């Protein structure tokens, strides 16, 4: 009896374990199905377009759903100017459109070059490139791109095995320096041309009228007005009149002196 009960108990536990395994299996399948569905939804947004702003199709990066969506775009579609605010995704009508691991590889190369080019000959540690890649892609490099990180950087860049640092090829750096030099020369020529045009089209200033002393238009009670004929004030006339006091100066006084 005990043997029979033990066998029954073992059989029951086995069935429970099997049921748990069966219950977990659809979860993984469902997750994969959801991922494919979302990738197809993103592709529909790129259908018939040459390019679409990344911010338009990535959703809200501040949420878990938005972050997962933008990582799927990094993993499956080609992004240009990937780390800039003006980043855009190539649509199906663009001649360079690609998807899947080809897009992931191209995105990885552009992402790495945003670190390698400013570092110039000093290079960047391989561990840092791996960390940056994981941040943007949300997964292991080999799973996303289809090859190991060390093999990827060895094919495209200069990898020092002893120091573990990666450098951009000297040829690429030289091309970029020449391009920057041409851009600087072009900017200088444009500036000189603008200054020359401004000097040629500068308008002549109109001749200004002569400046006259301001006339007294405000009445001042402390200043006595001058007579229009002599331009003198009454006090000045009295002083020049030789002591004339203004008394008895009429016709009667003069006639009295005659007689």
pLDDT per residue as tens digits for the range 228-256: 555 555 666 555 555 555 555 555 555 55
Q: What is the arithmetic mean of pLDDT over 59-70?
A: 86
**How many residues are listed for the chain in this entry?**
259
User: Who wins on pLDDT, 81 or 219?
Assistant: 81
Q: What is the arithmetic mean of pLDDT over 178-189?
A: 72
Q: Between the ranges 84-88, 179-183, 205-209, where is the mean pLDDT highest?
A: 84-88
- Compute φ and ψ for 215, nearest 5 degrees: -80, 155
pLDDT score at 4: 46
- Round the CA-based radius of gyration of the chain to a whole number and report it: 47
pLDDT score at 259: 47
Distance of alpha carbon 235 from alpha carbon 224, whole angstroms: 9
pLDDT score at 19: 47
DSSP annotation of 121 reads: G
Q: What is the arithmetic mean of pLDDT over 107-134?
A: 92
The band of 2, judged by pLDDT with boundaries at 50, 70 and 90, is very low
User: Who wins on pLDDT, 179 or 75?
Assistant: 75
User: Who wins on pLDDT, 232 or 3?
Assistant: 232
How much is the mean pLDDT over the chain?
A: 78
pLDDT at residue 76 above 90? Answer: yes
pLDDT score at 114: 92
pLDDT at residue 208 above 50? Answer: yes
pLDDT score at 159: 92
Distance of alpha carbon 14 from alpha carbon 44, whole angstroms: 46
Q: Would you tell me the crossing angle of helices 2-46 and 64-76 to the nearest 10 degrees?
A: 70
For 143, the 3-state DSSP assignment is helix
pTM for this predicted structure = 0.59
Selection from 57, 101, 45 nearest residue 78 by Cα: 101
User: Who wins on pLDDT, 130 or 235?
Assistant: 130
- Answer yes or no: are the C-beta atoms of 120 and 153 closer than 8 Å: no
24: tokens are 């977990």
Strand partners, 88: 53, 80
101: Cβ contacts below 8 Å, ≥ 6 apart: 144, 145, 146
Distance of alpha carbon 142 from alpha carbon 75, whole angstroms: 12
């Amino acid at each position: 009896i005990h043997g029979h009960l033990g066998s029954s108990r073992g059989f029951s536990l086995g069935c429970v374990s099997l049921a748990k395994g069966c219950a977990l299996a659809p979860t993984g399948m469902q997750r994969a199905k959801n991922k494919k569905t979302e990738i197809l939804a993103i592709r529909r947004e790129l259908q018939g377009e040459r390019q679409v702003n990344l911010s338009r199709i990535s959703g809200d990066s501040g949420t878990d759903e938005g972050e997962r969506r933008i990582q799927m775009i990094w993993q499956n579609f080609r992004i240009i100017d990937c780390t800039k605010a003006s980043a855009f995704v190539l649509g199906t009508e663009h001649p360079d459109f690609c998807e899947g691991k080809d897009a992931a590889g191209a995105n990885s190369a552009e992402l790495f070059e945003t670190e390698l080019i400013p570092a110039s000959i000093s290079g960047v540690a391989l561990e840092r490139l791996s960390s940056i890649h994981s941040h943007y892609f949300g997964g292991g490099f080999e799973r996303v791109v289809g090859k190991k990180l060390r093999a990827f950087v060895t094919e495209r860049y200069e990898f020092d095995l002893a120091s573990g640092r990666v450098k951009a090829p000297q040829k690429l750096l030289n091309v970029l320096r020449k391009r920057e030099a041409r851009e600087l020369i072009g900017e200088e020529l444009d500036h000189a041309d603008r200054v020359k045009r401004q000097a040629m089209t500068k308008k002549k200033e109109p001749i200004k009228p002569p400046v006259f002393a301001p006339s007294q238009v405000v009445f001042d009670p402390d200043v006595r007005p001058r007579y229009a004929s002599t331009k003198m004030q009454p006090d000045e006339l009295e002083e020049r009149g030789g002591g004339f006091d203004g008394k008895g100066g009429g016709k009667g006084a003069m006639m009295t002196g005659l007689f």
